[in-house]
């Protein structure tokens, strides 16, 4: 779900396990996101506001952000969450891979995702050291590989958020690039890659209308 944080990713995995029962014969792939996100369920729907530090699309008042957002707190919450998922999947005995949009070894500010100016950024190496075994299982991020540690390195980003790109999220084609970089042993079928390329083209032409084109019979 667009704008989801790591908490909602966790909730979704647990719901999937409750409904379907993940077994040792399953393969689980999870893409984690940046820590500065808050997920809430209100009025029968999830409110996913995306990066809490950005005003665009964020419905929370500025005073809330100043008083209640904390870089270290987000890191503690999310690394504990991801570690819980790791323990669950290890217990199940299935094969799994953790990926990420940005490196969780860096702060949101380091990844150019903003900050709370009222937050006193302190050392957080102790938190990352505590969860180092979990961080070691996360593959290099989209930011590090596809974007080469610079959001402006990709087409459309330097031009003040080209409408064809909208934000820093990778295009479907860039998702293919990412998978082929960090998971070269996972072979995507030509049908799947052509579907991703088609989705990118339609989005660039502003013809996708947020609907997926026909899904290929073979997804992987």
Q: Given a cut of 80, is residue 192 above it in pLDDT? A: yes
DSSP 4: -
| Average pLDDT of span 106-129 | 76
pLDDT at residue 116 is higher than 80 = no
Q: Residue range 90-101: average pLDDT?
A: 98
Percent of the chain at pLDDT > 90 equals 55
CA distance 63 to 42: 21
In this predicted model, what pLDDT tens digit does every residue of 155-186 receive, in sequence order? 665 554 444 455 678 888 999 999 999 999 99
Query: At a CB cut-off of 8 Å and minimum separation 6, what does 187 contact?
Result: 220
Domain ranges of the chain: 1-139, 145-220
pTM, full prediction: 0.86
Please determine, for residue 31, whether its predicted confidence score (pLDDT) is greater than 50: yes
Distances (CA, A) of 151 to 29, 98, 142: 24, 22, 10
- Tens digits of residue pLDDT in 35-60: 989 999 999 999 888 888 775 556 77
Cα–Cα distance, 212 to 195 (Å, whole number): 9
- Pick from 113, 163, 123: which is nearest to 143 by CA? 113
Nearest Cα to Cα of residue 218 among 185, 186, 191, 178: 191
């Amino acid at each position: 779900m667009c704008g989801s944080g790591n908490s909602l990713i966790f909730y979704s995995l647990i719901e999937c396990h409750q409904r379907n029962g993940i077994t040792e014969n399953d393969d689980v792939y999870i893409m984690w996101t940046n820590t500065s996100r808050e997920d809430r369920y209100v009025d029968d729907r999830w409110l996913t506001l995306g990066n809490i530090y950005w005003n665009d699309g964020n419905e929370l008042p500025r005073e809330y952000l100043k008083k209640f957002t904390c870089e270290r707190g987000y890191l503690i919450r999310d690394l504990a969450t991801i570690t819980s998922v790791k323990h669950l999947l290890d217990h199940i005995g299935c094969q799994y891979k953790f990926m990420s949009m940005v490196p969780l070894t860096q702060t949101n500010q380091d990844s150019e995702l903003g900050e709370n100016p009222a937050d006193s950024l302190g050392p957080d190496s102790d938190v990352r050291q505590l969860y180092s075994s979990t961080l070691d299982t996360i593959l290099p991020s989209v930011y590090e590989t596809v974007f080469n540690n610079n959001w402006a390195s990709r087409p459309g980003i330097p031009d003040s958020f080209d409408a064809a790109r909208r934000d820093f999220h990778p295009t479907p084609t860039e998702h293919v690039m990412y998978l082929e970089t960090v998971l070269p042993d996972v072979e995507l079928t030509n049908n799947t890659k052509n579907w991703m390329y088609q989705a990118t083209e339609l989005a660039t032409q502003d013809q996708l209308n947020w609907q997926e084109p026909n899904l290929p019979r073979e997804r992987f």
